[in-house]
Structure 1
Amino acid sequence: MASGGCRKGDQMEEQGRTDSGIDSYRSMLKDEPPCGGAGTGTERDSNPRSPGEPSGDKLCAGTEERLDSAYGSASLSVDSLSEMVQDCSVSTQHRGAGAPDEPEPSDQEESFLTTITEDGDTMLHLAIIHEDKYFAQQLIQIFPKDVLDIQNNLYQTPLHLATYLSLCSVVHDLVAKGASLELQDQDGNTPLHVACQHGWADCAATMTREVSSTKLVPVLEAQNWRGLTCLHLATLNRQHQLMKLLMKKGADLNIQEGTSGKTPLHLAVELRDLQAVNLLLQRGADVDAAMFNGCTPLHLAVGRQDAAVANLLCQSGADTMLRNMEDDTALDLADGNEDILALFPFDDIHISGRSVVGVF
């Protein structure tokens, strides 16, 4: 990624987006009946929203762009959507037994299953936006895998939206059906990025629980258009539980973000987050990792006059004599701070590579 960290969402080529494949899907319906389970009578999830869980009205929070044209409209409500899927579910039950005279899907069913709004949303996108878990889970059973990965005009898959709204049961069903963890939205975020951005540890755990470490590697290494991986985002948002989960899943502790080369440890130091600094160091993060400009975490701590973090880094073996591209050591940035200077034994100070001890 270019050091300027420019946003790539506007430059993404169309071929990188999952094609809706509606024409091909129509023929698939003729040849392969939808999976059963859509009309099994599963109880609707009536559990109250947990504290801090976002409501549907917050789906657009922090952005001026709408997620779909029908969201909140009087013409398309959760009830009307549920009625539509109920009609489809009853019909698919009758023809799901594999009888030789099994009828082809009706025009109404085809229309329902292949509808895409002007904003690129499928019915599954809309069900998730309306937070209708029961409806969404029925659709996941009906839709083939390829349709689950359709991206709307903002390049969001149903999994992106389910994660954003912390609908863990929907996230589980999508992943179990094979929904992709690697697709990126218009900001370059994968669904796991979204979980780390908003602190949804349960969704992240659900998303990664049954996925092999091999399949997780590209997800954990993926950078969004700001150059940030999931571990960078978890660190920036002080999500210590998520940091532990990502480390357990094999995230690279020393991976550099794409704009200035900061590792998660650099970011934790900048935030003065002692808990995150300690966590990263205990798990084996490189205490002397250098940014593109040569600054180590100790350079950043001393430059911010943060004696507590600087002390923790020194106790972890940080090299006090490493120089950045401006030829400064961490000591050079102490600016007379006595608490910082106390961390640097005088017999360790060198001038032009020679110890000052015995010079005077």
Structure 2
Amino acid sequence: MYGIDNTSSASTEDVAKSAKNDTRPVDSGFISSPDISETFSSENFSKSDSSDYFMSGHEVQDEDMKVDNRMYYLSESLSKIKLEGACINDLSSDKSVEATWIKEDGSQFLLQDEHGNTHLHLAIYFCYSDMAVNLIRAATSPVYLDLLDQDGQSPIHLAVATNQPQIVRALIVAGAQPGTRNSRGESPLHMAARLGLYNCCTAILEPVGKEEFKSLSLTYNVNHKSVDLEQWNYEGQTCSHIAAVHCHIDILRLFMRCGANINAREGRGGYTILHFAIQNKMEKLAYFLLSECSNLEADVTTYAGKSVLQLGLPINKGLSRTLLLRGAASPYSSEDEDMEDCDSEILPQNSHLYAHNTLLNGYA
């Protein structure tokens, strides 16, 4: 051991006494400073703490600590560190595995954090528009633009949720799928209709031109398909039903112009948009349907066989007459009954239907 003459024939006690009285620096091979030993004791400095301590670039400022003592501690500590889980680059292996994020095949888009977010998700969520557009342009396949986070949100869902129509449009032009559902069963168009985001709706629905596609300078080709306006969410509702329920008439008008079926029935009860208008007492919506939608069929019934006039709900006389003229089945058993006295009354036997239907469809 350094600093001790092993060839001496003196006794152990003499050697110890001599070493105690000797004031010269002695390197025993161990950490001899009481302050340092206390600092780096096993009780006060765990393995995880030591790893964080040195990996963070923290420097020990104690000048009394010898260089060889520090190297001894580091070598001892680092030799005991064990990495949990798979190692990206296993140094004990014959082959060095290349980190996926430095590949040039676009696989960096596949990297997701613990919440399922990719770089593109985060750029859109924090409204870094320029960065998001650059990431869209860097994609080597539209598949990378449709990755879902833990809530089932695609990048288009996040662009709609944050009201960024320019990013929505860039994703559509780049070939992202507009019909992807999130955990609630909503497509981006359902979400835009619910939130009343007209510009996001147009960004999804407008056809993609060749020049617009070339402007992104993408490395792949896309066969853009038309958006399915009749797609249901998990409640059986189309985007038109959603727009009607929230009385976004401008968005509903856009859907009609793009070819949405105004007479489509939702999947749970067979309600049409007109049924929703009457059920939720939206006279403005009802008059829009009757005045602007020439292909409206007022005689469509629910799965229970009820017309809009047979829901048992109060309807003003003018609207009731208009619906009768458009073919809606009368709530009365005989045409000879006096409509003048009964137009704005709820039939006693049907008085429970409003509350029942409202709760059933979730529009209370």
TM over 0.5: yes
- The answer to whether residue 238 in structure 2 is matched with residue 229 in structure 1 is yes
> Secondary structure, in 3 states, of the residue corresponding to 2:127?
coil
Please list, as runs of the form range in 1=range in 2, the aligned pairs for 1:277-356 lying within 5 A after superposition: 277-281=286-290, 282-283=292-293, 284-300=295-311, 303-320=313-330, 337-340=341-344
User: What corresponds to 1:352 in structure 2?
Assistant: none
Q: 1:122 to 1:308 in 2, by over 3 A?
A: farther
- Look up the match of 2:38: none
In structure 2, stretches of 5+ residues that fail to align are 1-97, 210-223, 346-364
Report what 1:260 is aligned to.
269
Which aligned runs of 4 or more in structure 1 are off by greater than 6 angstroms? 328-332
Cα deviations across residues 52-83 of structure 1 (Å, max 9, x unaligned)?
A: xxxxxxxxxxxxxxxxxxxxxxxxxxxxxxxx
2:115 maps to 1:119:
yes
1:1-360 to 2 correspondences below 5 Å: 109-110=102-103, 113-143=109-139, 144-210=141-207, 215-216=225-226, 219-281=228-290, 282-283=292-293, 284-300=295-311, 303-320=313-330, 337-340=341-344
Return 5+ residue gaps in structure 1 as ranges.
Answer: 1-104, 342-360
C-alpha RMSD of matched pairs (Å): 2.9
**TM, length-normalised to structure 1:** 0.57
1:298–1:330 CA contact under 8 A, matched in 2: no
Bigger Rg, which one = 2
CA distance in 2, matches of 1:122, 1:329: 64
After superposition, the Cα gap between the structure-2 partners of 1:288 and 1:129, relative to the gap in structure 1 and judged at 3 Å, is: same
Contact 1:269 1:309 in 2 (8 A): no
Q: Match of 1:251, as an amino acid?
A: A
Report deviation, 1:182.
Answer: 1.4
Cα deviation 1:104-126 (Å, max 9, x = unaligned) = x9865348544201121111011
Q: Identity of paired residues, percent?
A: 28
Of 270-279 and 134-143, deviating more is: 270-279
Q: Sort the Cα spacing of 1:132 and 1:338 in 2 relative to 1 into closer, same or farther, 3 A.
A: same
One-letter code aligned to 1:127 = A
Q: How many residues align?
A: 228
- SS of residue paired to 1:180: coil
Aligned residues of 2:279 and 2:313 also touching (Cα < 8 A) = no
The higher-RCO structure (CA 8 Å, 6+ apart) is 1
**Structure 1 CA distance, aligned partners of 2:336 and 2:118?**
58
Following TM superposition, by how much is the alpha carbon of 1:268 offset from its aligned partner in structure 2, in angstroms? 1.2
Q: Aligned residue for 2:68?
A: none
TM-score scaled by length of structure 2: 0.57
Contact 1:289 1:296 in 2 (8 A): yes
The answer to whether the Cα contact below 8 Å between 1:299 and 1:329 also exists between their aligned partners in 2 is no
